[in-house]
Structure 1
């Protein structure tokens, strides 16, 4: 899908047939807008939102089990396994197989991983402030609150 739909000059005169009232459509178009802005601002440093999110959660939950991490971030196990392997290659994470459950894998950041997460925290959490948004600060906070509620993530866990 092209973000041209967000351009009023392109959108004007096109009958969306009720899609402008579809939650799924609006969430998807909004996601595209945010991701395009993310990559425009941070693409040059190689930061990807999903990958950083994984490292961020590991940094706040040292020893988290890989399956639990995948489930909490809604990432398929096969994709999570590939991510974890690539993070190992970069030296960002350590895997540990606990003696009590040899089928599981516990994840922690290395010093290099911790440094990466700390170095890019302002980028990851700050880029959105440069997004040209019609929402004011209060509306943005309310949107985040409502999305956290809608998605089942408690507001207290959103930073």
Structure 2
């Protein structure tokens, strides 16, 4: 860079949060493009995946694990249920809780989603070495944990 040319973002270039926001935007755009045919959002895929790996998980536990408030969790579960991907049952251990299960359609959608995730992850990881990916995940975990 020459002395007479300012950095593209000026002082913003020094702000870590700014770069995290730009990176998130790029990842989100690619995810959305990858999932356009499935018509699923990142949060919906996360819910399907979590329920698929934990049949009977309580709706409230899904929200807690994914760090979503109750209203957001309920909206996502309602949407997935209306598409025929999830079903709610009363929890056998606590009748006040809703246990979530994938339907056959939900399982099929999850298989497709996992294929799209693999494509998306390959795109993302292609920007880094294996060691960098491991370090990046470790560093990002420090922020969200």
**Fold in common (TM above 0.5):** yes
> What is the CA distance between 1:133 and its match in structure 2?
6.0
TM-score (norm: length of structure 2):
0.82
Task: Give 3-state SS (helix, strand or coil) of 1:102's partner.
Answer: coil
Gaps of 5+ in 2: 1-5
* Partner in structure 2 of residue 32 of structure 1: 25
Gaps of 5+ in 1: 1-10, 153-159
TM-score (norm: length of structure 1):
0.75
Q: Which is worse superposed, 38-47 or 76-85?
A: 38-47
Give the 3 Å change call, closer, same or farther, for CA 66–49 of structure 1 in structure 2. Answer: same
Give the 3 Å change call, closer, same or farther, for CA 42–12 of structure 1 in structure 2. Answer: farther
Task: Give 3-state SS (helix, strand or coil) of 1:39's partner.
Answer: helix
Aligned length: 140
* Partner in structure 2 of residue 93 of structure 1: 86
* Partner in structure 1 of residue 108 of structure 2: 115
* 1:78 aligns to 2:71 (yes or no): yes
Root-mean-square deviation (Å)? 2.3
